[in-house]
Amino acid sequence: MKDDQSMIEVDSKFKSCPGPIIDLSEAVKNAKKGQIIRLIATDPASPSDVKEWTAQVGHKVLKISEEKGVYEIDIEVG
């Protein structure tokens, strides 16, 4: 990640599908190519939803982690 680009954090906790994807797509609109967006979500479908969405729109999933039912999903804007 370049120094001039900070990570964008998107808090979608306690939203069910399609809430996290809508929040993520809104964040992408304001991001630069190569910027990292971290989606924080509690919906168990979020990891698979994000993988499917990024494949369709050309972004890249960098990392998916889960702790105590909270998912952190990092994507790189393509």
Query: Could you give all domains of the chain from N- to C-terminal order, each with its CATH number?
Result: 8-76 (3.30.110.40)
pTM of the model: 0.91
CA quadruple 29, 60, 72, 13: dihedral sign:
positive
Q: How far apart are CA 33 and CA 49, in angstroms?
A: 21
pLDDT digits (tens, 9 = 90+) for 7-55: 999 999 999 989 999 999 999 999 999 999 999 999 999 999 999 999 9
